[in-house]
Amino acid sequence: MGRRLTNTIYRGDEMNYQEFLEIKGSRQDNVGFDVDEFNPMLFDWQKTLVKWSLKKGRSALFEDCGLGKTPQQLEWARHVCQKTGKPILILAPLAVSKQTKREGEKFGIDVNICRTHDDIVNGINITNYEKLNHFYPEEFAGIVLDESSILKNYTGKIRTQIIDTFLRSPYKLCATATPAPNDYTELGNTSEFLGVMTRAEMLSMYFINDTGDVGTWRLKGHVKDNLFWKWLSSWAIMIQYPSNLGFDDNGFKLPPLNIHEHVIPYKGQTDTLFVEPASTLSERRQARKESMQERVALTADLINNSNETWLVWCNMNDESAALKSAIKDAVEVKGADSIEHKESAMIDFQNDQIKCLVTKPSIAGFGMNWQNCSNMAFVGLSDSYEQYYQAIRRCWRFGQDKSVNAHIVIGEREGNVVANIQRKERDMNSMFQGMIRNMSEMVQEEIFGRESKRTDYNPTIEMKMPDFLQEVSA
């Protein structure tokens, strides 16, 4: 086995200036290879995306939930492995490894689940992000980040470790549905991992710090209409439907999503006519504790009187324990549980062996395909719109054949949290539409080689210089 690499081998003295310039010089170039034969089970638009990502060598696929990112990344990994003769590593969220292996079996692609580097085979290997320290990155020809938006959810130290560890990997692929749900400056994390441009460089080149709102970045005026989107399209593809690439949307229609809001009245003392919503973080925590018993009781009543499968999301340990006790046949997955219990419970829920799963978005909100469930409850909300969005999309995704019902059970004093989530939802929808609109023509050009439409200027009247300018020039 190769020796374990430390972060310093990439950014320390062992990298000379010439190597640094070589990395900088190849950032936006195609470093991959051409492939024309693909798994026949893939849709044509999926084959097109895999072909493009293989040619780029280092790229990102930002596709909405249920568009088949897993078979695409497996097909990408299969070709890189065949081309290089070296193993591939996929990093995935907890419990997604077994799901990916099952998906690979459907497409005739072998996937090896491994816990340490000793388990590696010369093929496609997958492990959890949490086990990264047990592997030697220099022995892999390529790396895939499944649900790569997880980069920004880790602490700065771990995020930097992921970026540094695979700095010299020849082939890289990022796949996620939410690259930047509210702030596209977060795309810099993906850009930095792929070796395109560091986040700091991206901000410096394309953004300006809004002096009216400290910490907020906006596109510079001279790049707003074209340059940033052209740069982004050179290494990333974002789609919500196959039609964004010019293909048919047959089979990719989302069922209705029904949001049911249940507000628990505030029973405490108030000096005003109306109940004042909690504003500070400490006030929100207190408000959540005050209404916990009623929220749990209402949620348990909904589920205990139903014969269907339910997914229950919470944010506090006390909520999780109370829900487990109040809901008949509920299985709880909490942070302190073993990895084996977490994975087993998530897979059992996927296989309809568990009627009700109680957990947190931070634990199980990424990567799992739970189209077998169409009922969920949020027993309170955090301010993270991404966690809310990802939690919703575990069930509400392409392939779901039922209407999805999401019940939000919240205390009256937590109204500000709901309003904040709704605002972020509007911001995300606006951003996504803007990104797809701006990138659409450039993506067509990048993938299919179609030139952007241009209107040539053919002057028919000779321009004459004014007399006063002629006098000055003379």
Cβ neighbours for 166, distance < 8 A, ≥ 6 positions apart? 137, 143, 172, 193
> Would you say residue 435 lies in a domain?
no
| Residue 403 in tokens | 């209407």
| Residue 297 in tokens | 């009781």
Residue 441 DSSP SS3 = helix
Let me know if 334 is exposed, middle or buried by CB neighbors in 10 A (0-12, 13-18, 19+).
middle
Do 61 and 205 belong to one domain? yes
Question: Residue 466's pLDDT is what?
Answer: 63
Is the separation of the CB atoms in 193 and 202 below 8 Å?
no
Strand order in the sheet with 375-379: 257-264, 404-411, 375-379, 310-313, 356-359, 330-332
Question: Residue 83's pLDDT is what?
Answer: 97
Helices within 234-354 (DSSP H only): 281-304, 317-326, 339-350
| Residue 184 in tokens | 């596209």
In angstroms, the CA 400 to CA 159 distance is: 33
> Would you say residue 469 lies in a domain?
no
> Would you say residue 474 lies in a domain?
no
Q: Which of 230, 251, 272 is the last residue of a domain?
A: 251
Work out the end-to-end distance of the chain between its first and last CA atoms, rounded to an integer number of angstroms: 78
Do 98 and 227 belong to one domain? yes
Do 68 and 147 belong to one domain? yes
C-alpha distances in angstroms, 333 versus 172, 339, 347, 392? 32, 10, 12, 18
Do 150 and 216 belong to one domain? yes
Q: How many domains does the chain have?
A: 2
Is the separation of the CB atoms in 349 and 325 below 8 Å?
no
Do 132 and 264 belong to one domain? no
| Residue 35 in tokens | 């492939």
What pairing do the DSSP bridges indicate for beta strands 58-63 and 356-359? unpaired
**Residues composing the chain:** 474
Phi, psi angle pair for 304, to nearest 5°: -65, -20
> Would you say residue 464 lies in a domain?
no
Do 193 and 299 belong to one domain? no
- 172 closest CA partner among 268, 57, 308: 57
Question: Residue 455's pLDDT is what?
Answer: 44
DSSP 8-class letter at 48: H
> Would you say residue 468 lies in a domain?
no
- 99 closest CA partner among 373, 390, 350, 462: 350
Handedness of CA 444, 429, 215, 58 (dihedral sign): negative
Do 364 and 392 belong to one domain? yes
> Would you say residue 195 lies in a domain?
yes
Compute the C-alpha angle 153/159/160, nearest 5°.
Answer: 155
In angstroms, the CA 212 to CA 131 distance is: 42
Let me know if 13 is exposed, middle or buried by CB neighbors in 10 A (0-12, 13-18, 19+).
exposed
Do 207 and 308 belong to one domain? no
C-alpha distances in angstroms, 246 versus 33, 44, 402, 448? 24, 11, 27, 11
Q: pTM value?
A: 0.80
Do 151 and 190 belong to one domain? yes
Domain at 131, CATH number: 3.40.50.10810
Do 275 and 212 belong to one domain? no
Do 229 and 261 belong to one domain? no
Domain at 332, CATH number: 3.40.50.300
Is the separation of the CB atoms in 416 and 287 below 8 Å?
no
> Would you say residue 264 lies in a domain?
yes
Neighbours of 8 (CB within 10 A): 11
Q: Which of 206, 230, 251 is the last residue of a domain?
A: 251
Phi, psi angle pair for 408, to nearest 5°: -105, 110
Compute the C-alpha angle 43/47/48, nearest 5°.
Answer: 115
Amino acid present at 197? M
> Would you say residue 15 lies in a domain?
yes
Question: Which residue do the tokens 């994975």 mark?
Answer: 343
Cβ neighbours for 282, distance < 8 A, ≥ 6 positions apart? none
In angstroms, the CA 333 to CA 342 distance is: 6
Do 213 and 289 belong to one domain? no
Query: What string of pLDDT tens digits covers the 474 residues of the chain?
Result: 443 333 333 444 445 544 543 444 334 678 999 999 999 999 999 999 999 999 999 999 999 889 999 999 999 999 999 999 999 999 999 889 999 999 999 999 999 999 999 999 999 999 999 899 999 999 999 999 998 887 776 567 778 888 999 999 999 999 998 776 666 777 888 999 999 998 889 888 888 876 665 567 777 776 655 678 888 888 998 888 999 888 999 888 899 999 999 988 887 655 554 556 666 767 777 778 888 999 999 999 999 999 999 999 999 999 999 999 999 999 999 999 998 999 999 999 999 999 999 999 989 988 899 999 999 999 978 777 888 888 999 999 998 999 999 999 988 877 667 777 778 777 777 777 777 777 777 777 777 765 444 444 455 666 666 665 555 445
Question: Residue 24's pLDDT is what?
Answer: 43
Is the separation of the CB atoms in 79 and 44 below 8 Å?
no
In angstroms, the CA 373 to CA 349 distance is: 9
Compute the C-alpha angle 419/420/422, nearest 5°.
Answer: 65
Please report which helix (H) or strand (E) contains residue 26, including its range: none
Domain that holds residue 314: 257-423
Residue 363 DSSP SS3 = helix
